[in-house]
Amino acid sequence: MDEGISTMMQRIGRTIKAFICAIFIINPFLHSQPKEPEEKQKYSFKAISFSRIPGLEEVYFGEDKDMLRLPSRNFSREMKYEGTIPTIFYGKKLNPEGVEEFYPVASTVVPKSLKNVIFVFLATSRKEALTGRRFQVLHIDSDQAKFPGGGRHFLNLTGSDVSATIGKQNVLIPARSSNTFLPDAKSVSEGRLPVQIHAKQGTEWRLLSSTRWSMDTRVNTLVFIFEDPVRKRISLRGITNRIGAPPPPEEEETEEE
């Protein structure tokens, strides 16, 4: 009886060995087949942060963890990215052993069609920050920053329609769209014009800003309209680009809560 069981076990063992050998003979590359390379992309970019987060005034990106300073008033110097998709940004800290460690704080997927990009960094909500995602990163085609002096190019990143009345001219900026205001000759000669900006909420138009703007043709201005995740409201931010001379003093602005 014992000899019969022993013989049966030997046959089972031979069968298993033969099966394993057959797998490696049929597919000799089962364990040696190389992994498919990750998809990569290349582009240039500038960045600006509309939120200050202590310890994250600088972030890092790419395989070599290149440093990116996040200015809040003007764009950073132009940087180049060549790496995997999505683009991941990292913070840096010391672990308990005193060794530097990088940890992800934001990511974004840049369309392959874009070769020159503007990144806008916004702080995430307190709840979302607990997941480790500290920034929301918006990407914009850099070509939108190319327009004549004295003009304003509005970038509406919100889900609400926005209207701007500049002097006697009206500009509608639909939700998640853009539009450009160019002053006429009379507006330029007047120098500074009254400006009111409203956002549509339901059937009502709510005042976002009441101010005066200079029509200086030596500079142009990108006006970002975005949903501030911390303040829980629509906010405005203008970035002035010098065309032929230093920009004028910052314009006073009043916002209605």
pLDDT in tens, 60-111: 999 999 999 999 888 999 999 999 999 999 999 988 888 999 999 999 999 9
- Output b/e per residue, 57-90; b: 16+ Cβ within 10 A: eebbbbeeeeebebeeeebbeebebebeeebbbb
Least confidently predicted of 15-24, 158-167, 202-211: 15-24
101-136 confidence digits (pLDDT tens)? 999 999 999 999 999 999 999 888 778 888 888 999
How many C-beta neighbours within 10 Å does residue 127 have?
A: 8
Residue ranges covered by each domain of the chain: 40-142, 147-244
Cut 0.85: pTM above it: no
Output the CATH code of domain 147-244.
Answer: 2.60.40
For residue 255, the model assigns a pLDDT of 46
